[in-house]
Structure 1
Amino acid sequence: MRYVKHLSTLPGFLFYASIALHSAQAQSGWHLEKTIPVGGMGGMDYLTVDPATHRLYVPRGTHTMVIDADSGKTLGDIPGQQKAHGVAIVPKLHRGFITDGGGNGAITVFDLKTNTALGVIAAVPDADGIIYDPGTDRILVSAGDSNSLITFKPDIDPKSGKIEAPIPLGGAPEFLAADGAGKVYVNLEDKDTVAVVDLSARNVIARWPVAPGGSPVGLAIDKQRHTLLIGCRKPAKMIVMSTENGKVLGDLPIGTGVDTTKVGGKEAFASSGDGTLAVVSQSADGKYEVQSVKTARGAKTMDFDSANGKIYLPTFDFEELKPGANGRPKALPDTFKILVVSR
């Protein structure tokens, strides 16, 4: 099943006008290739892939696993976190950084070669989404409960270094993206807006509504088309927004419970907890299509490997809810796994 949106040309991206539903096989041909069984104890959050090594960095709550994506072998396991959320890597320094949202918040610095911790940097409560911006040579971290953006240089002393003064955002951030030229875009989930931060001035310079989307969580940037791809939960949409003026250029249907959006080549992706991966692509006749790829329940985060073109999504097997029961189903013990989606 796929959704097809008819388009008219606009600067940067294309505007989505009307929807037609087709049952023909999608042209892009994305599918679930295989499952990597991992098991073990712990939860899950943002997964990060290193395209150069095909290593997966997988937060599991109190520890972060390093897994070879090709063999499925666990290469390392970095302990010591209270609530691990995400990982950013800086290969030129052979360093990785893990956000720990527990307690007062912290960043674990580790060695990419040995997968051992080098030290822990004090942060702020609920240190969560994390990326590395090569343009400004900064690690950038969203801190939801602290309503702030954290920044620091990746060559920070892992034992005694201190973060730069947090930038107040005026709302609860979820994820973030950088344009490489000094601007950072941050989803404010509770405000239904994207905050635009000038890193030189260290303040918010604009706030852009995401309507007709709401509760924005996933965020990715397409630097070539000067657009943001925003995954919204209420309602479930991918919003296409101009990075130049915040204008909403279009909205696309996606699954419920989205957590992550990514850009890979000429396509964009949104992973949702209902067990679907939305793949946005352009057909030869100028239409944009959304292919809905069946993944598995709970597979709401992901990363895209730009070297091999594969997508990796972590999840568990879950117990079945009883008829009439509400709430989240419990993950079954020792069932953690990583799904591999490819073309």
Structure 2
Amino acid sequence: MISLILATALATAGFTTTPLVSLPEPGGWDYLAFDEASRRLFVTRGDHIDVVDVDAAGAVARIEGLKGAHGVALVPLQQRGFVSDGKTDKVLVFDMTTFKTVSVISLSGKKPDAILFDKASGHVLAFNGDSHDASVIDPTQARQIGSIELPGAPEFAVSDGIGHVFVNLEDRNALTRIDTRSGKVDGTFDLAGCKAPSGLAIDSIRHRLFSVCENEVVVITDAASGRQVATLPIGKGADAAGFDSRTGRVYSSNGQSGTLTVIEGDGADHYRVTATVPTQRSARTLALDERNGRVFLSAAELSPAPEGKRPTMVDGSFRILTVSSSPGAGK
């Protein structure tokens, strides 16, 4: 049914959901990463990365040599990408122009998941779920140069670009802050009312953090003080959040509900849900194209599962969706 609906597009409150490209190979998926300069979307697919030209709406390359791809960090000045491979405790480095593998970095940490590039320190950080630490990588040398112990199990992470990285702690219902110049944790903030935070986004101008939680809320935190600013409802099964600096919108992709929650801010301390956009059940991760005001979502049709088990993906159904908006949408 969802295929027929999306063939003609779903629209609500000025937002429209449409299919972008089909990537029918089997396999799971995790984070999305978008390079606005090259217009390339990097789609993690377990044992490989699909590279999609979003303007041409087609796959242009495939990065192989992985076993459990989770996240992609991009370092544009060096034209290098870094992929966390949770099943091998390694990071694969690829050329952003040719998409060929350049090297593979063995980590001291266990089960790398989230990964990002921090401009202030010039380092790539891979967050290790099993060893509760972050591996610090020198992207020029393509090697690990240090490790940062974390006070819990890390989930998604973001950088403010001026010396701090923030990461959700899933097992502690908390958020921790790393000073990337010293390489040490310099604050941990409780996320009251939040269970198992996963996706995280940042408004670097207003210094606000947006943690999406398993119990269908997003908690908004002051990045400087750790003060909890607001808690708002979202859909079920959120695994990613995004902040569009051009529109000021916050997004939560809710995989079990099959919706995208849109949040607007009235100043730094007042937020409200302005739209709940139908997407597709399973669309839990996202990336933003701020130039065109689009949200990319990865999704697949799911078969019913026996009680207590996860549903399985229908073969050939994996695709990338886009949510776009008209002027004044969600107001």
Rounded to whole Å, the distance in 1 between the matches of 2:154 and 2:295 is 25
- Determine if contact 2:71/2:115 at 8 Å carries over to the other structure: yes
Structure-to-structure mapping, 1:20-169, within 5 angstroms: 26=13, 29-103=14-88, 105-123=89-107, 124-157=109-142, 162-169=143-150
1:164-183 counterparts in 2 under 5 A?
Answer: 164-183=145-164
Q: For the Cα contact (< 8 Å) 2:264–2:273, is it kept in 1? A: yes
Alpha-carbon distance between aligned partners in 1 of 2:319 and 2:73, rounded to the nearest angstrom? 21
The percentage of counterpart residues that share the same residue type is 34
Task: Determine whether 1:202 maps to 2:188.
Answer: no
Instruction: Give the RMSD, CA atoms, in angstroms.
Output: 1.7
1:307 aligns with 2:287: no
Unaligned 5+ runs, structure 1 = 1-24
Given that 1:193 and 1:208 are in contact with CA atoms closer than 8 Å, whether structure 2 keeps it comes out as yes
For normalisation by structure 2, the TM-score amounts to: 0.89
- Structure 2 distance, partners of 1:44, 1:224, is 31
Within 1, Cα distance between the matches of 2:271 and 2:167? Answer: 29
Q: Which residue of 1 aligns with 2:217?
A: 237
1:281 corresponds to which residue? 264
Cα displacement string for residues 161-219 of structure 1 (whole angstroms, at most 9, x for unaligned residues)? x3122111021000111122221111110011111112233222211001121211111
Deviations 1:5-32 (A, max 9, x none): xxxxxxxxxxxxxxxxxxxx64xx2220
Q: Distance in 2 between matches of 1:287 and 1:184?
A: 23
* Contact 1:195/1:204, CA 8 A, preserved across alignment: yes
Q: Residue 252 of structure 1 corresponds to which residue in structure 2? A: 232
Partner of 1:335: 317
Give the distance between the partners of 2:181 and 2:123, measured in 1 at CA: 12
In 2, Cα distance between the equivalents of 1:241 and 1:204? Answer: 17
* SS of match in other structure, 2:77: helix
Q: Distance in 2 between matches of 1:80 and 1:100?
A: 10
Q: Secondary structure at the match of 2:182?
A: coil
Give the Cα separation in 1 of the matches to 2:182 and 2:103.
29
Partner residue in 2 for 1:17: none
Q: For 2:168, which of 187, 190, 194 is the aligned residue?
A: 187
Q: Deviations over 1:250-306 (max 9, x none)?
A: 01110111111110031111111121111112479x873331111111110010012
- Distance in 1 (CA, whole Å) between partners of 2:296 and 2:177 is 29
Contact kept, 8 Å, 2:230 with 2:271, in 1: the verdict is no
Report the Cα distance in structure 1 between the residues aligned to 2:265 and 2:273, rounded to whole angstroms. Answer: 6
Cα distance in 2 for residues equivalent to 1:88 and 1:295: 26
**SS, match of residue 92 in structure 1:** helix
Question: What amino acid is the match of 2:62?
Answer: D
Measure the CA separation in 2 of the matches of 1:187 and 1:298: 22
Supply the distance in 1 between the matched residues of 2:271 and 2:172 (Cα, whole angstroms). 32
1:91, 1:198 → 2: CA distance? 23
1:66 deviation in Å? 0.6
d(CA) in 1 for partners of 2:157, 2:271: 28
User: Structure 1 runs of 4+ off > 3 angstroms?
Assistant: none
